[in-house]
Structures are given as structure tokens and as C-alpha cells.
Amino acid sequence: MPDSKRSLVAVAVIVFCVTLWWITVRLSGSRIFPTPWQVILGMVQLAQQGLLLKHVAASLVRVTYGYGLAAALAIGLGLLMGRFRGVYVAFNSLVQLLRPISPIAWIPLAILWFGVGDLSPIFLIFLASFFPMVVGTVAGVLTIERQYIWAAENFGISGFKLLCFVIFPGALPQIITGMRIGLGVAWLVVVAAEMIAINSGLGYLIIDSRNAGNRYDLVVAGMVIIGVIGLLLDTLMRGLERLDEVQWQYGR
């Protein structure tokens, strides 16, 4: 299906859902749940007060710090675990032990260790995105066809150079997949953390709007903004999959 038709179908589905939302609210006669137009007005109000940009920027900054640190450490550790058996044996059990623990379960400890501030959600974002990227990177290294490594070694390439110029590019498609999953989880976690351990960001906006006079138009506005930003972040990560350095494996 051409890109234009796929975009048209996606827009048509969104329009249908918004229309269904409006009809449902009107037929129910609800005075609490907002209509789409009331949500738009709520967004305009937030923008005029300068709160929209403030909360969006706060959430994105926290995700940038937590996710960036996780990516740097997870990809490095994943490359070593996939390449060296001893590193894999040493760290795999710990990774598999901690990976199933929900990042939300760490909230009490994060508050205890870092207090109520930016460090707590950054820590939770780090945990949420670290493990998908480690697993994706290890899987990428282990699925590299051995002849690529043998050919490089025959030309005298070994050690750190082999890791950087052969193993990393070979594992890159799986690494990007892990990064995409990690970013999605990180965006979920920052919103949850901001509802509990912080006084700014989109998660805080939702809770504060609920507590300050039942402003459900702002609650839903916050939810819509979270969804839109999540879509944009995922689109950005999908764009990385189209790079020539990554596309070679998807085209097989």
C-alpha cells in the first residue's frame, strides 16, 4: 500500500475515534468527562499560561538523561556480554534477575535514595530502558553470522577494533530494536514517576488537574499530549531503522 494511502487510513481511523468519543459524551449527558473540543480548549489554556511547554520540557529532559545514560551503559555491556563468554556468565544472571521487576516497584526505594526531585524519575527511567537495550544488544551480537567475524580476523582485525567496526555494525539492527522498546518503556515510566515523586512534568499535570477541581479536560489533554509525544518518539526511532547501516539486515 502506498504511503499516502496508509496515511489516509490512519487519519480516517483517528477521525472516527474522535467522532465516536464526541457522540458518546453527548449521548451520555456527562458533565464530567470532556468532549474533544473541551480538551482542545484545555490545551490552549495550558499553552497560554506557559504550563504546556514547561511540563513537556520537564518530562523530555528527564527521559533524555535517564535514557541516554542507560543507552551508553546497556549497549556497551551488551556488546561485551555477547562477545565474551566470561562476561555473559558473570552478568546474565543478574540481568535476568532484575529485568522482570517493574520499574514502578522501585519508586519507594528511588524516593528513599534520591528524595523527591529529578533524580528519582531519572533513576526509574534508567532502569526501565536499560534492560531492553541490554537484551537486544546481546541478541544482536549472538545472531551475527560467524563468517563476518572470521573474515575480519583473517585480515588481522581483533580486539577493540573488531568490536567497533564489525560486531557493533552487525548487531546494530537488533540494538535499534532494543532502543525503540526501551524508549517506549521509558516514556511510560516517566509519567508514572511524575505522578508520585515530582512536582512537574506531564504525569504531575494529570494528577494536579484531577486534584485541583476535577479538571478532567486537562487530565485528558495531558493524556493526549503523552500519546502524541510517544508517537513522535517512536517515529524517530523507526527512522533510525531506515538508515543504510541498519537496513541491510531488514532487506534480507
CATH code where residue 148 lies: 1.10.3720.10
What does each C-alpha distance from 191 to 163, 182, 197, 205 come to in angstroms? 36, 15, 10, 10
Write the CB contacts of 246 (distance below 8 Å, at least 6 apart in sequence): 172, 173, 176, 240
How many CA atoms lie less than 13 Å away from 5 in the CB half-sphere? 2
Same-domain status, 67 and 20: no
Separation between Cα atoms, residue 168 and residue 162, nearest integer Å = 8
Q: What is the pLDDT of residue 2?
A: 63
Same-domain status, 135 and 245: yes
Give the chain as a 3 state SS string. Answer: CCHHHHHHHHHHHHHHHHHHHHHHHHHHCCCCCCCHHHHHHHHHHHHHHCHHHHHHHHHHHHHHHHHHHHHHHHHHHHHHHHHCHHHHHHHHHHHHHHCCCCHHHHHHHHHHHHCCCCHHHHHHHHHHHHHHHHHHHHHHHHCCCHHHHHHHHHCCCCHHHHHHHHHHHHHHHHHHHHHHHHHHHHHHHHHHHHCCCCCCCHHHHHHHHHHCCCCHHHHHHHHHHHHHHHHHHHHHHHHHHCCHHHHHHHCC
Separation between Cα atoms, residue 118 and residue 140, nearest integer Å = 33
pLDDT band at 252 (very low <50, low <70, confident <90, very high): very low
Q: What is the pLDDT of residue 86?
A: 92
- Whether residue 136 contacts residue 175, with contact meaning beta carbons closer than 8 Å, is answered with yes
Domain count within the chain = 2
pLDDT at 77 over 60: yes
Same-domain status, 6 and 120: no
Same-domain status, 10 and 120: no
- Which residue segment(s) compose the domain that 22 sits in? 1-31
Same-domain status, 20 and 98: no
What pTM value is reported for the model? 0.84
As a whole number, the mean pLDDT across the chain is 86
Same-domain status, 12 and 55: no
Same-domain status, 14 and 60: no
pLDDT in tens, 195-206: 876 788 898 898
Same-domain status, 12 and 58: no
Write the CB contacts of 29 (distance below 8 Å, at least 6 apart in sequence): none
Same-domain status, 153 and 93: yes
pLDDT at 69 over 50: yes
Of residues 212 and 219, more confidence is placed in 219
Q: What burial class does residue 217 get, using C-beta atoms within 10 Å of its C-beta: 0-12 exposed, 13-18 middle, 19+ buried?
A: buried
Same-domain status, 9 and 86: no
Q: What is the pLDDT of residue 96?
A: 93
Same-domain status, 172 and 241: yes
Nearest to 54 by CA among 188, 205, 213, 162: 205
Task: State what percent of residues in the chain have pLDDT above 90.
Answer: 42
Same-domain status, 123 and 220: yes
Q: What is the pLDDT of residue 116?
A: 80
